[in-house]
Chains A and B, each alone.
Chain A
Amino acid sequence: MSNHAILEVKNLKVNFDVSSEGDMPWTKAKKLQAVNDISFSLNAGETLGIVGESGCGKSTLARAIVKMVPAESGEVVWLGNDLLGLSNAETRPYRKQIQMIFQDPLASLNPRMNIGEIIAEPLRTHYPKTPESDIQARVSDVMSKVGLLDNLMNRYPHEFSGGQCQRIGIARALILKPKLIICDEPVSALDVSIQAQVVNLLMDLQEEMDLALIFIAHDLSVVKHISTKIMVLYLGNMVELANSEDIYKSPSHPYTQALISAVPIPDPSVEKNKNLIMIEGDLPSPINPPSGCVFRTRCQKAQDICSQDKPEFKEVSSNHEVACHFND
């Protein structure tokens, strides 16, 4: 593992225009802040876990990094180049190095293409002159890497289970030997037993190919094993970013504390006595987020200052950053 950051995201913001029912064409659309001022860096071979409720902007963040949704401002520096400043044609070479895995394994495979074609597509796109025999060899190579028999090549996606489909998706992401794979809730749609298989597979591949991963999930228990660093998002804002162990040992933000208290502990006596911190109420609308601290509407520790000033995102100990006025 090198200590050199391959990906640096600086102050990334993404806004969506939302027009409500009955608006006139000339009415100015409301702005929805999907991702607000997010910065982090990722080293080669590391894993960043991103956790948050659905609707907190984690998928949007992932898509903004690969330029699937336009960013409002900020930088995405990939190996020294700001991707956001590049044209589509200029971005193309970098697309080889960053791949993505999706939430719904079956929906991420074209139902009219067979597995061989699906896995080979990135290769054919970036190296159109590769001879057919090489393509076949590369495809069966990655298939065996993700634990699929290569005689399945002529099969179609609907003939596979969810876990197998996700393996196919991983094989497609691996074929170009990328440096970073963004996993957008790759296991949320799978059975628990298969979740572990897929997570273990990703960890093995990471070690073997020195991959960096961005692993998105909506609860902490999934990212726990795989992540080096964990970022907690709430309503498009970072609320805590720290090393994986630090977050578990000393969560500083009330939201993180609540999330961790919700992770089941496999020891019944501990589990029984654990004090569960409940988060009450609904996620506020991102169209008009609460003033001051975004979490204040559901925070048990909220004081007057929380509604007036937005807490800064600052270090509480080394490599442990939190956005809360009362972080102790």
Chain B
Amino acid sequence: MIVANKSKIKKMAENLSESGAGRSLWKDARMRFMQNKAATISLFILISIVLFSFIGPYFAVWSYEQIDWNAMGSAARVGMPSIESGHFFGTDDLGRDLYSRVIQGTQISLMVGVLGASVAVVVGTLYGATSGYLGGKIDQIMMRIVDILMSIPYMFVLILLLVVFGRSIGMLFIGIGLLSWLDMSRIVRGQTLNLKNKEFIEAARVTGVTDFKIITRHIVPNLLGIVAVYATLLVPGIILAESFISFLGLGVQEPSTSWGALIKEGAGTISYDTEWQLLFPLAFFVVSLFCFYFIGDGLRDALDPKER
């Protein structure tokens, strides 16, 4: 009696729970990401920083290249952060408004990071997936090229490029983009090799699905997770590289600026009692980097196939 009822109840329960849409891996991942407090908060802060860099200029009293002759040369006395003067973050040594300059630096740094990472993602994914899927000799040659490029010291090449071809944002992109896809291509290739031997790829091939469809329908969607994680971790790396270059005085050109350049100026004048010149850009820099790393971490945990 009880047994019979049990099976009936089970059937009912099945029918109840099994109707409707299933949880796709993406939905699952999103839920797990939301449960990660550090990652969710980081995402929120990062979005606020991005929004600030777009909306902020409407509240600015001074433009980023305009010089406040009052504050020039006497930043320590006149150029401190204040609402009345319109210099919300104070001024730099030349009397330029730090609020506007930080916004400008944020835009440039984030743009360099995101664009550089996108170049790396597109080039690296295509290169790695091709190499892994084709396999054999072609794979060997393509990966040896990556090995050779990787053995060249990254910073050295970047600095050399900027010195030889002159300082420009364009050159910085080329230099960073040229080298940052290498890791990406290796990771993607490894993952593709792994996927290629999965039985569901074999099942598709046995059925007669074309190579192109196999790559677009079966391989790329399964790569997206790892690519997304790596890209979020790549952005701060590139921002750091750019800041380092700017800190050396080789990055963006005046009057444009970036976090690295601002930090450099701020650090140079720290002995003149103008600590805000260092602290504001530094705060943005550090907070953003932390946010990126936390988000990357959260994404990795959320997409980790082992936790499935």
B interface list, Cβ under 8 A from A? 14-15, 18-26, 198-200, 202-209, 213, 217-218, 221-222, 305, 308
Contact = CB atoms under 8 A, between A and B. Distances in A.
Given A92-B208, A107-B198, A102 B203 contact: yes
B204 A121 contact: yes
B199 A99 contact: no
Interface residues of A, number: 36
Nearest to B210: A125
A66 B218 contact: no
A126 interface: yes
Contact of A155 (B22, B207, B209): B22
Give 10 closest A-B pairs by Cβ, nearest first: A155-B22, A95-B208, A108-B199, A102-B199, A112-B221, A122-B207, A110-B200, A154-B21, A107-B199, A100-B206
A149 B213 CA distance: 29
Nearest to A96: B208
Given A92-B208, A100-B203, A125-B208, A149 B18 contact: yes
Interface centre among B18, B203, B209 (most CB of A within 10 A): B203
Given A104-B199, A107-B199, A112-B221, A66 B25 contact: no
Contacts of A320: none
Contacts of A159: 22-23
19 contacts: A68-B202, A95-B208, A99-B206, A99-B207, A100-B203, A102-B202, A103-B199, A107-B200, A108-B203, A111-B25, A114-B22, A114-B24, A121-B204, A121-B207, A121-B209, A122-B207, A125-B207, A154-B21, A156-B23
Interface of A: 66, 68, 91-92, 95-96, 98-100, 102-104, 107-115, 121-122, 125-126, 149, 151-152, 154-156, 158-159, 169, 172, 176
A158 B25 contact: yes
A112 B24 contact: yes
A172 B206 CA distance: 12
A255 B217 CA distance: 45
A74 to B, nearest CB: 19
Contact of B206 (A66, A107, A113): A66
Contacts of A115: 22
Q: Which of A99, A107, A172, A176 has the most CB of B within 10 A?
A: A107
A66 to B, nearest CB: 5
Contacts of B26: 112
A191 to B, nearest CB: 18
Nearest to B24: A156
B222 A110 contact: yes
Nearest to B207: A122
A62 B21 CA distance: 36
A142 to B, nearest CB: 14
A98 B200 CA distance: 16
A158 B308 contact: yes
